[in-house]
Amino acid sequence: MDSVLVSLEAGVLRITLNRPDKLNAFNVDLHKGLADAMARAETEAAVRCLLVTGAGRGFCAGADLTARDMKSPAPLDLGAMLDAHYNPLVKRMRALPKPIVCAVNGVAAGAGANFALACDIVIAARSASFIQAFVKIGLVPDCGGSYFLPRLAGTQRAMALAMTGDRLSAEDAERWGIIWKCVDDADLKAESEKLARQLASGPTKSLGLIKQAIYDSASNSLSAQLDLERDFQREIGKGEDYREGVAAFLEKRKPEFTGR
Ligand code: T3D
């Protein structure tokens, strides 16, 4: 059974974590599947948006805790796992000039929670939850959690979530601004598909620069950000989609963006 299912339809690359009996926990196979999907997203122009979700009742339970030889007294180098898999994955997701929508269908724990937060827009089912499970097994947040959480939720909430490993409901995650929104379980598939299709038929280059501008603002001064906006506007204003957007507005019709 493939650990990651990938399909492309209407510009949306649907990526489904597919180890449902282990709540889609990360193992090397799943990491390889994600790396292959990212390579496709990076190279295929037909891919204009990514939609990530999980098979079964969970989204992702973090690292597969059965994949380590815990009986051997030799110390494990977990840093090597991060270097080999999690860190390149998060960096590629952030650098990808295309939107990534995440549909969190169930529990997202440990690296699974932070993988979701590495996506650009997160929608969760009402029954889903987010757990910084690391502390429960004597680890620290990884997969970008110590970067994303304080920025999304503020220092106090990030600290308490990381230090307690308490479960955060999807409703609270929405209220705290950690995710875009939570929807009824029955609506998750349709809502996330609708958003992904909307983005896939949008002005792709513009969406890619919006993504970069929002993320770069975290470390830029206002002056640097204003310069960035000028440079991006200059660049995107030369694109076909800008001409099409204005023409469609003036002609009172729906724009047909091509991503160019
Ligand atoms: O090692 C490295 O690569 C370093 C990187 C580390 C990054 C990390 O992510 S560390 C954090 C790892 N994750 C966890 O500690 C979470 C462990 N799981 C749980 O705490 C619970 O399973 C959940 C809270 C996520 C869900 O609870 P619940 O009651 O809904 O489900 P369950 O019964 O615990 O799990 C269902 C099955 O999935 C179960 O298998 P079974 O008994 O039916 O055969 C369970 O063992 C399995 N499962 C759940 N999480 C994992 C897992 N199997 C392997 N690894 C898991 N992380």
DSSP track, 60-118:
E-SB-TTSS--SS-SPP-HHHHIIIIIHHHHHHHHH-SS-EEEEE-SEEETHHHHHHHT
> Which of 3, 18, 23, 132 has most ligand 1 atoms within 8 Å of its beta carbon, as the pocket-test mutant?
23
Closest ligand 1 atom to 139 CA = 10
11-30 CB burial, b ≥16 within 10 A, e <16:
bbbbbbbbbeebbbbbbebb
Cβ count near 1 (within 10 Å): 9
Q: Is the CB of 134 under 6 A from ligand 1?
A: yes
- Give the tens place of pLDDT for each residue, 71-127: 888 888 999 999 999 999 999 999 999 999 999 999 999 999 999 999 999 999 999
* Confidence band for 68, pLDDT divided at 50, 70 and 90: confident
Check residue 74 and give its pLDDT. 86
Check residue 22 and give its pLDDT. 98
Closest ligand 1 atom to 85 CA = 3
Q: How far is the CA of 150 from the centre of ligand 1 (A)?
A: 24
Check residue 206 and give its pLDDT. 98
209 neighbors 259 (Cβ within 8 angstroms): no
- Give the tens place of pLDDT for each residue, 19-58: 999 999 999 999 999 999 999 999 999 999 999 999 999 9
- Give the tens place of pLDDT for each residue, 145-195: 999 999 999 999 999 999 999 999 999 999 999 999 999 999 999 999 999
Check residue 249 and give its pLDDT. 98
Q: Nearest residue CA, atom 1 of ligand 1?
A: 63
Check residue 174 and give its pLDDT. 98
* Confidence band for 70, pLDDT divided at 50, 70 and 90: confident
Q: How far is the CA of 138 from the centre of ligand 1 (A)?
A: 14
Q: How far is the CA of 30 from the centre of ligand 1 (A)?
A: 15
Please tell me the pTM assigned to this model: 0.97
Average pLDDT rounded to a whole number, residues 218-240: 97
Closest ligand 1 atom to 63 CA = 9
Q: Indicate the average pLDDT of the chain.
A: 97
Percent of the chain with pLDDT over 90: 96
Q: Give the β-pairing of 12-17 and 49-54.
A: parallel
